[in-house]
A = this chain, B = another copy of it.
Amino acid sequence: MTSTTTGEDADARRRRRRAGADIKESMRELSVQLSLLNHQISASFELRDTDFDCLDVIKRHGPLSPSALARRTGLHAATLTGILDRLERGQWIARERDPDDRRAVIVRARRERNPELFRKFAGMNSAMDGLLADYDPDELELLADFLRRTADAGRAATDALVEGGRAPG
């Protein structure tokens, strides 16, 4: 630990690179596992994989219009009609008319079925609770911040691909 030479630097660099690779690797695996979990839960409610993703965006970014949702998710506007149909049929959302623009529709998340959904996530949630018990508050805050920033990076990367696909130049 006390080495005066570049030995420690090289070691630190090696650890850093190794851990960085591990993180991206684990991130990819985590993404796959969460997708598969999402698939099971969606299927149990007779929804498609993407439907709950949209519901999440609606919950998070407030009441918004189908076209805004399409822009945010990168999905085709016509596809959103079907997604919103299913979510509405299942009472997950409500479509309301925009009082300021009578062409527009406002999609609002409903809360009634949240407990049902929560129950499906119970297994994952309690596993997470057990896992988080091993960390002290500082570490937890480190993790929370990392996840938030990574999610932001994911959104930026998605937006870039959507824009790039739309106007390939």
Binding site for B on A (CB under 8 A): 12, 15-16, 19-20, 22-24, 26-41, 44, 49-50, 53, 56-57, 60, 73-75, 120-121, 123-125, 127-129, 131-132, 135-137, 139-144, 146-151, 153-158, 160-162, 165
Contacts and interface: CB of A to CB of B under 8 A. Distances in A.
Nearest to A23: B144
28 contacts: A15-B137, A15-B140, A16-B137, A20-B140, A22-B141, A22-B148, A23-B144, A24-B128, A26-B148, A29-B56, A31-B35, A32-B56, A34-B34, A34-B35, A35-B35, A36-B73, A36-B154, A37-B158, A39-B50, A39-B75, A40-B162, A44-B161, A49-B49, A123-B156, A127-B157, A131-B146, A142-B142, A142-B143
B157 A74 contact: no
B30 A157 contact: no
Given A29-B60, A158-B37, A161-B37, A146 B149 contact: no
A122 to B, nearest CB: 9
Given A19-B143, A44-B161, 20 more contacts: A12-B137, A15-B140, A16-B137, A19-B137, A20-B129, A22-B141, A23-B132, A30-B147, A31-B34, A31-B35, A33-B158, A35-B50, A35-B53, A37-B161, A40-B161, A123-B156, A124-B157, A127-B153, A131-B149, A142-B143
